[in-house]
Amino acid sequence: MDEKSEQPARTHPGRTGRTPDTSRRSESSRKAILDASMRLVGEVGYNKLTIEAIAARAGVGKQTIYRWWPSKAAVLLDAFTGVVDEESYQQGIPDTGDLAADLKAVLRATVDEFNTPSFEAPYRALAAAGAADPSLSEQFVRRLMEPGRDVYVRRFEAAREAGQMAEDIDAAFATELLLGPFQARWLMRTEPLTYEFADTLVDYVLRGIAPR
Amino acid sequence: MDEKSEQPARTHPGRTGRTPDTSRRSESSRKAILDASMRLVGEVGYNKLTIEAIAARAGVGKQTIYRWWPSKAAVLLDAFTGVVDEESYQQGIPDTGDLAADLKAVLRATVDEFNTPSFEAPYRALAAAGAADPSLSEQFVRRLMEPGRDVYVRRFEAAREAGQMAEDIDAAFATELLLGPFQARWLMRTEPLTYEFADTLVDYVLRGIAPR
């Protein structure tokens, strides 16, 4: 991946005209900070996470962090934006013509992701903190949830054009019907996230939105 | 309501054989503590809530609280169990024969409830803390969410017996399809909770689970 595209544009240390060596060191510090913030928030939760602890884990001074980010929330949001697979977001959900199969494949992949502790723990810490804090949840939703949601919206729109979905249903609402029970089950830990759950969810949502 | 039925049985101060006056004072302290805990958690969040602050707000010594409850979580769970309308839980969702109308009526009432700050703020604080803390979420789900969920499960079971729902669908899963998008929208604040949302949700879920 192009190095510049990974940097927050306004704070890219390379833009100050330093030598390539300095820039490389900055980039490696930046990666260490983002990695440390993800691991730590999964370990101690959002409320107990501090810039000091991130700095210590990353092996940098805390001023290095404050030079690039205004808050721990900003660090974490960049860290998560870095791990999501932007290429897969751009490509969207495959359209094989079989809506159910396409949705099940991507929802099963999400089941795998949410059953992976190194992803799940920090994501949960951020979601739980967002539930309590409106300004954080606004950023969490806009930067992390919406890009993930939009790939479903586009797939539902394609399905409607293919006549596989009722004309009058909003693709964003169809997405909410599908992802809402998944998110609620995950956040409240009411039942485990399984392939069977993903498949059943897809089947019933598609019956609900089928053309009449 | 019978006074004893409101008390946690094992800690009811009246059971120690004190005079009626002492028992009445205890009951009024107990109510003050529960009220204070609800208001405070909505104001400061779960993490910053302390037994000391609840005691100060309730005008009791903190030993009074520790005599009856082992933790702030225990106080809050009792406080919430006290405000939910147990009688309406026992009666369940009205069965007029019109499943859609019955579900819309109760889901609209839930919209009203979640748009009431004195209920919403403490409930959100507890849900957010539960999302981060597995032992709290287990209690939160069992004591607060499941009784509310069970009234839907019973109504869906009645609908299935009346032939209004596919034979092979699990009533608990139908409930999850209905309440999941509501809970996710609420917790993540993605969109407002409105009557229109409640009605649309009911309509699409019922189409999904209709007999084939």
pLDDT, tens digit, 9 for 90 and up, residues B153-176? 999 999 999 999 999 889 999 999
Residue where a domain terminates, one of A82, A117, A134: A82
Q: Would you list which residues of chain B are within 8 Å, Cβ to Cβ, of chain A? A: 45-47, 124-125, 127-132, 134, 137-138, 140-141, 145, 169, 173, 176-177, 179-185, 187-190, 200-201, 204-210
Closest partner CB to A184 (pick from B125, B184, B209): B184
In a domain, B76, yes or no: no
A188 and A132 in a common domain? yes
Least confident of A75-79, B1-5, B169-173, B182-186: B1-5
Q: Is A202 exposed, middle or buried (0-12, 13-18, 19+ CB in 10 A)?
A: buried
Contact (CB, 8 A) for B29 and B60: yes
Domain interval for residue B39? 4-71
In a domain, B78, yes or no: no
Q: How far apart are alpha carbons A100 and A205 in whole angstroms?
A: 10
Q: How far apart are alpha carbons A146 and A162 in whole angstroms?
A: 24
Least confident of B110-114, B117-121, B192-196: B117-121
A182 and A90 in a common domain? yes
B103 and B181 in a common domain? yes
Our CA dihedral for B195, B200, B201, B205, rounded to 10 degrees, sits at: 150
Place of tokens 């839930």: B110
* Number of domains composing chain A: 2
Place of tokens 């723990």: A121
Contact (CB, 8 A) for A161 and A207: no
Give the CATH number for residue A140: 1.10.357.10
Q: Residue B104 corresponds to which tokens in the numbers above?
A: 């819309």
Nearest chain B CA: its distance from A172 CA (Å):
11
B27 and B91 in a common domain? no
* Inter-chain CB proximity A188 and B46 less than 8 Å: no
Q: How far apart are alpha carbons B90 and A21 in whole angstroms?
A: 70
| Axis crossing angle, helix B117-132 with helix B20-44, rounded to the nearest 10 | 80
pLDDT by position in tens, chain A (length 212): 344 444 444 444 444 445 667 777 788 999 999 999 999 998 998 888 999 999 999 999 999 999 999 888 889 989 988 776 667 777 789 999 999 999 999 999 999 999 999 889 888 988 998 898 888 889 888 988 898 899 999 999 999 999 999 998 899 999 999 999 999 999 999 999 999 999 999 999 999 999 98
Contact (CB, 8 A) for A109 and A152: no
Q: Report which of A32, A208, A5 is spatially closest to residue A87, judged by C-alpha positions.
A: A5
B97 and B61 in a common domain? no
B198 and B114 in a common domain? yes
B163 and B89 in a common domain? yes
Residue A19 has a pLDDT of: 62
Q: How far apart are alpha carbons A77 and A72 in whole angstroms?
A: 9
CB atoms within 10 A of CB B138: 14
Residue B176 has a pLDDT of: 96
B48 and B147 in a common domain? no
B193 and B107 in a common domain? yes
Number of Cα atoms under 13 Å in the Cβ half of residue B156: 25
B90 and B180 in a common domain? yes
CB atoms within 10 A of CB A164: 17
Give the type of residue at A176.
Answer: E
CA angle B118, B120, B122 (to 5 degrees): 75
A40 and A124 in a common domain? no
A197 and A168 in a common domain? yes
Q: How far apart are alpha carbons A46 and A76 in whole angstroms?
A: 10
Place of tokens 């929330």: A73
* Average pLDDT over chain B, rounded to an integer: 87
Nearest chain B CA: its distance from A21 CA (Å):
41
Nearest chain B CA: its distance from A207 CA (Å):
5
Residue where a domain terminates, one of A61, A82, A103: A82
Residue A85 has a pLDDT of: 65
